[in-house]
Each structure stands twice: as C-alpha cells, then as structure tokens.
Amino acid sequence: MTGQMTRWIRGLFGLILLVAPARAEPPAPESDAPAQNIVIGYLRRAENRTAISRLALPAENDGQAGAESGLDDNNVAGEFLGQTFSLVAHRLKPGEDAGAALADLEGRGARFVLADLSAENLLKAADSAAGAKTLLFNIGAADEVLREEFCRANVIHVAPSRAMLADGLTQYLLWKQWRKFLVVVGSHDADRLWAEALKRSATRFGGKIVEERMFADAGGARRADSGVALVQKQIPAFTQNAPAYDVMLAADESAVFGEYLPYRTWDARPVAGSAGLVPTSWDPSYEQAGATQLQQRFERKFSRRMSALDMNGWTAARMIGEAAAHDAAGDIGAARAYFLSKDFALAAFKGQKLTLRDWNLQLRQPILLSDGRNVVSVSPQEGFMHQFSELDTLGLDRPETKCRLK
C-alpha cells in the first residue's frame, strides 16, 4: 500500500517533470465531495510461465505491470472525479488455497480482483466465502469451461478464450485460402484443449484437419546447447510423410516444441497456433488504433515491452475505472450491472468498442495475429458475418453456450 502510494507519487512527480520547465497547472478540484478510494486486488499464480525462446520468457511483473498501468490511467481521470485507485497484490504460494488468498485481498479492501490463476484455482477463489464479496476479472485463463459449464456470475473474463483465439486465427488462414491443416499437439492437458479449439474452429469455418500428430514431452532440456542440434534432426523426421497440407497448427501451450517447428518442418509449410502466426490479445509491435500511445506509456514506466497478459491487466483495470467514472464502483452489483448495460463501451486500442457477452461475462474483443515481429492481421476477418456483432464470430456464441449464470 505504502509502496503503491510512493510509486504513484513518483509517477506524478515524473509527470510534472515531463512538462518542465514551465509547470502545468494542476487540475481544478471538481467538487467538495470526499475522495473515493477504489482498491483493486491482484491475485497471481504461484508458478512461472515458461517459454522456448528466451525472448518470450515473461517478466517478473508480467500482468501486474499492465494492471498498474491501467491504474495510472484511472488515477489521472480520478483527479477530475475525486477518485483514487490503489492496488493490493497477492501471489499464491505453492499449494496455498486460492480462496484464502482472495480473502487476504478482500480483507485489505479489494472488491474488484484481477486474477491470473489456473482454471482450478480461479474456480476455488470464485466459490470461496471471499468470492461472494468480490467481482473477479479473469486475465490469465483461456479455458472454455470457465465460460461454459463452470461459468460464474462473479467472474468476468477479460482474457480471450481458446475458442476465440482459434477462431481469430482460422478466419485469417481461410481468408488466405489455406484450408488443409496438419495439427501437432503436445502431451499436456492444456495442449489438448488448445488442439480441440483449433480443430473445432477449422470444422466450424470449413477448413480440414488432414492429420493429427502428438509430440510427447520427453522432458528434454529446452534450451541446452545439444538440444538445438537434436531438434534440427528431430523435427523434420517427426513431420515427414504427412498428407498434403497448407499450414501446420501447433498446439503447444506448455511451450515444449511449438517454437521448434518453424523452418524445421519436412515440407516447406508455415506454422501457426503456438508458434509462427500466433493469435493473441496484444503484441508489443501493435500500433493501430492509437495503440502506440499505450505502448509508449508502458515502456517508459516499466522499461520493457507490454505483453498480452499486461494488456489483459490494463483492460480489467480500465473496466473498473470506467465503472467508477459512471458511479458504478460503489458495490460489485452496480459494477456488474454497468458492465452489462448499453452504457458500457470500453476503448482499448482495438479499433472498436469492447463490450461484455451477457450470457457468460466474456469480453468481446478483436484478436490480433502476431508473427513475433509484427501484427499480420486483426480478426474478425471481413466476410465472417453475424446478426448481432461480428466479434461474436469469435468463440462460442449465445446459441451454443452451456453457461447458465445464477
């Protein structure tokens, strides 16, 4: 709390320095109303995410930095509205109960909590005693079940689901007239779920899975020197004798083999999914729709690039800021009602407003397709029509949902 305050004050000081030498006049106080402080919780998983490329290894404050950046933006608006926003954070210890962790944040005043948790822990937190008093923002779990069979009325999904990511990717591949896919799936549960989403998407939009192969995680060293030589021999052998295909789809959420596929496939084919062309909610190279502004603000403050998890954190924090600006952050019921109302339209540098699906509390959003250097395209693609919102061509739609919100 104190650390937050000093950081915030330091930020403010930096802001004043920026406009030196002539100092900007501070904003006029808007009213005599007592300041409203909104405490936002940040609950994060114990385990570190992993990656094959060292360039993709997440920063220590991955996600939380994005949330802090969103809080900064909220606090600027708050100066005009008599509101302040502060962040309290809790990182799960291995084996710690997610409900107890949420209770800690709730005890420190947080009614809105950003959660970067596994699906299992997110449900534990949501169904705990503290969960009944909080509104959770899922920024880190793409699992469909959280939006479907196990959807919860106190969990808003800011992160896109696997089906949304898969649909965003597949729409583009079909626009390119690449219709035949060879799926390579890892041996972990998350990999299988990602493969399911990719296959469902291909079927949904008229693509064809010509074959599916499994890449078993043999526990090899990811970045050992000898590994590279081995991989060069291993991947071509693994991918040979495939039926004719246009694109290899890698389903490797566990980061075991996916990024080893490009340039090593037996046939000269592009890779997409977990490597090559990757669907995501943010990319540090993205600069459309005014995004450069946010990228620069973030990079100045944190001296690193903004990740997709950071963007999910920023977006969730800004949602709470918008609720506060519209007098809807007093209690979680009012906030939830505001997010579901026609008045809610979030500007998040995606070229169109983001709104909430009322049937499962998933944030509607475009999906960026990144090649690691640039954003190749943004889905939904032209020609994928929907009677309500083209964004609803991404992910499971209202008629398909298994979610029954209580």
Partner 1 sequence: MPFEMSRAAFVVALLAASPAFATDAFVSNEKGNTISVIDVESMMLKTTIPVGQRPRGLAVSSDGKTVYVALGDADQIAAIDTKSLSVSDTFDAGRDPERIETSPDGKTLYVTNEDSNTLTFFNLETKERLGGARLGVEPEGLAVSPDGKTVVATTETTNMAHFVDAERRKILANVLVDARPRMAAFTPDGKEVWVSAEIGGSISIIDAQTRKIVERIRFEVPGLRAENVQPVGINISHDGTLAFVSLGPANRMAVVDVKSRKVLKYLLVGQRVWHAAFTPDDKFLLTANGISNDVSVIDVGALKVVKSIQVGESPWELVIPGPAKP
C-alpha–C-alpha distance, residues 285 and 370, integer Å: 8
Q: 229 or 347: whose CB is closer to partner 1?
A: 347
DSSP letters spanning 111-144? SEEEEE--HHHHHHHHTSTGGGG-EEEE-S---G
Least distance CB 278 / partner 1 (angstroms): 25
Beta-ladder partners of 136? 113, 155
Q: 25 or 47: whose CB is closer to partner 1?
A: 25
How remote is the C-alpha of 18 from its chain's centroid? 31
Q: 205 or 344: whose CB is closer to partner 1?
A: 344
Least distance CB 77 / partner 1 (angstroms): 4
The structure tokens 């990811």 sit at 222
How remote is the C-alpha of 403 from its chain's centroid? 21
Least distance CB 380 / partner 1 (angstroms): 10
Q: What does residue 308 show for φ and ψ, rounded to 5 degrees?
A: -65, -40
User: Do the bridges between strand 155-157 and strand 135-138 make them parallel or antiparallel, or are there none, so unpaired?
Assistant: parallel
User: Do the bridges between strand 135-138 and strand 180-186 make them parallel or antiparallel, or are there none, so unpaired?
Assistant: unpaired
Least distance CB 210 / partner 1 (angstroms): 35
Q: 208 or 386: whose CB is closer to partner 1?
A: 386
- Go through the chain and tell me how many residues it has: 406
H/E stretch holding 44 reads strand 36-44
Q: 130 or 306: whose CB is closer to partner 1?
A: 306
C-alpha–C-alpha distance, residues 34 and 52, integer Å: 51
Q: What does residue 26 show for φ and ψ, rounded to 5 degrees?
A: -70, 155
Least distance CB 68 / partner 1 (angstroms): 14
Q: 203 or 293: whose CB is closer to partner 1?
A: 293
C-alpha–C-alpha distance, residues 51 and 296, integer Å: 25
Classified as helix, coil or strand, 283 is coil
Binding site for partner 1 (CB under 8 A): 15, 18-19, 22-28, 30, 73, 76-77, 80-81, 290, 293, 296-297, 318, 322, 325-326, 345-347, 351-353, 389-391
Classified as helix, coil or strand, 308 is helix
Least distance CB 389 / partner 1 (angstroms): 7
Least distance CB 24 / partner 1 (angstroms): 4
C-alpha–C-alpha distance, residues 155 and 405, integer Å: 10
Q: 78 or 279: whose CB is closer to partner 1?
A: 78
Q: 273 or 284: whose CB is closer to partner 1?
A: 284
Residue type, 63: G
Least distance CB 332 / partner 1 (angstroms): 22
